[in-house]
Amino acid sequence: MPAAPLRETRIAHIGIAVDSLEAILPFYRDLLGMPEVPLGDSDGARITGLAAGDALVELLQPERADSPIGKFLAKRGPGIHHICFKVDDLDGTLARCLDAGHRLIDQVPRLGAEGKRIAFLHPASTAGVLIELTEY
């Protein structure tokens, strides 16, 4: 059986660290007109999604100061926290990144929000950008 063609890498979501979901939600939802998408909590953060085509803007408000987003806010203030790309072959992509000398936060994929397989790359080897990879 021939292999299925690879699907292109796309933006899955942009994660934005915020002090208050309630304060910024009207900007994205009402002024930019992005539909709100219910999302659960993850990694100690409350998440509100906003649809932008087939990608999401994810607003991340920490529930605890010692959560990853809580620490980010304390250090850098509110702003863009990470970009998540969906790729066709997560394991193969991670192996290629490791071979090329990139630093992985997750050596093997773990389960993220909604049971999806995800892995983070360290921003030190991606020009300062925290990158999450997930699978189609």
| Residues β-bridged to residue 133 | 85, 119
CB of 123 to its own copies, least distance (A): 7
Q: How much of the chain is helix, strand and coil, in % rounded to 5?
A: 25, 40, 35
Residue 16 CA, distance from chain mean position? 9
Nearer to its own copies, 39 or 121 (CB): 121
DSSP 47-97: EEEEEETTEEEEEEEESSTTSHHHHHHHHH-SEEEEEEEEES-HHHHHHHH
Residues in contact with its own copies by CB under 8 A are 6, 8-11, 14, 16-19, 23-24, 26-27, 31-35, 51-55, 57, 77-80, 83, 85, 87-88, 93, 96-97, 100, 102, 123, 126-129
Give the DSSP letter of residue 3: P
Minimum distance of its own copies from residue 39's CB (angstroms): 17
Whichever of 4 and 31 has its CB closer to its own copies, that residue is 31
Rank residues 65 and 124 by Cβ distance to its own copies and give the closer one.
124
The distance of closest approach from Cβ of residue 65 to its own copies in the complex, given in angstroms and rounded to an integer, is: 18
Nearest to its own copies of 17, 118 (CB atom): 17
Min dist CB 55 to its own copies, Å, is 5
Q: Does residue 130 sit in helix, strand or coil?
A: coil
